Amino acid sequence: MRNFIFLLFSVLLCYSSRAQKMEIPPKTHPDASQWKDLFTPDLKNALYPEGVWTYENGILTASKDEAIWTKQEYASFILDLEFKTDHGTNSGIILHCSDINNWIPNSVEVQIADDFAEEWAKAPASWHCGAIFGHLAPAKSLVKKPGEWNRMTITCKDRMIWVMLNGELITEMNMDLWTDARKNPDGTEIPSWLSKPVASLAAKGHIGFQGKHAHAPIWFRNIKILEIN
């Protein structure tokens, strides 16, 4: 028993040390193999409409436009995952959600989209893959063509958000700079349904994944999270 307690303490100490030594934001996609799964294979730690989401053979996907949520709330963390789009996919990773029943104005969304689809290619830049939806465009479009797996690492530290896509940091947001509900700091208009200034939102909440939005599927795998100090 004494040996088991020592081993458990050593594992926890090692995990804590990794969290403390992790560079924020990471300069490359991290080795997340030993991190915690965001969702358990049986999805018992998730909130979602029955029958909509499945997690089979390590792949998470939805049959309808309904989100899936963590039961736990998170503040500062690194979320690492892979996703695959289809033709016309429009999905997203929802952060800091304080109300899952009315999530759109009460959260921040990292956009996932098929930027090769004409509909999304012609949309505002803040609707492109890797954007903070409606608020901040990515530095460049790096999403791969439909059917190919992409790697995304999202880092949230206090009120900062960074998005890395396929090896490059493309988005950096200081939530406190978005003090207006109508216009972004660069003067571009904010969609009317995002009715609260980002600066007024909490930097803690549920993490969610948007489902089969825009009638096109989305797939996720290797979804790992590391909470940071």
pLDDT score, position 22: 75
205 and 73 Cβ atoms separated by less than 8 Å: yes
- pLDDT level of residue 214 (50, 70, 90 thresholds): confident
Residue 177: phi and psi, rounded to 5, are: -80, -15
How far are the Cα atoms of 1, 92, 116, 169 from residue 142, in angstroms, in the given order? 51, 15, 11, 10
- pLDDT level of residue 8 (50, 70, 90 thresholds): very low
Q: What is the torsional sign of CA 165, 171, 176, 179? A: negative
Indicate if the pLDDT at residue 5 is higher than 50: no
157-174 mean pLDDT: 99
Q: Which residue do the tokens 């730690």 mark?
A: 45
Distance of alpha carbon 210 from alpha carbon 42, whole angstroms: 19
Tally of CB atoms within 10 A around 39: 22
Q: For 94-141, what is each residue's pLDDT tens digit?
A: 999 999 999 999 999 999 999 999 999 999 999 999 999 999 999 999
CATH, domain range 23-227: 2.60.120.560
- pLDDT level of residue 17 (50, 70, 90 thresholds): very low
Which has more pLDDT, 165 or 10?
165
Indicate if the pLDDT at residue 11 is higher than 70: no
Using a CB cutoff of 8 Å and minimum separation of 24, what contacts does 123-130 make? 124/188, 126/184, 126/188, 129/165, 130/163, 130/165, 130/170, 130/171
Judged by average pLDDT, the poorest of 20-24, 127-131, 173-177, 199-203 is: 20-24
9-22 mean pLDDT: 50
pLDDT score, position 81: 99
Tally of CB atoms within 10 A around 82: 17
216 and 10 Cβ atoms separated by less than 8 Å: no
Indicate if the pLDDT at residue 10 is higher than 50: no
Residue 228: phi and psi, rounded to 5, are: -125, 160
> If we measure between CA atoms, which residue out of 71, 79, 78 comes closest to residue 205?
71
Distance of alpha carbon 173 from alpha carbon 194, whole angstroms: 16
Distance of alpha carbon 117 from alpha carbon 139, whole angstroms: 19
How high does pLDDT run on average in the chain? Answer: 93
18-36 mean pLDDT: 86
The pTM of the full predicted model, rounded to 2 decimals, is 0.90
Q: What is the torsional sign of CA 83, 173, 115, 95? A: positive
- Nearest 5°: the CA angle 90, 79, 60 is 50
Distance of alpha carbon 172 from alpha carbon 132, whole angstroms: 9
Tally of CB atoms within 10 A around 175: 23
How is the chain split into domains, by residue range? 23-227
pLDDT score, position 229: 84
pLDDT score, position 2: 54
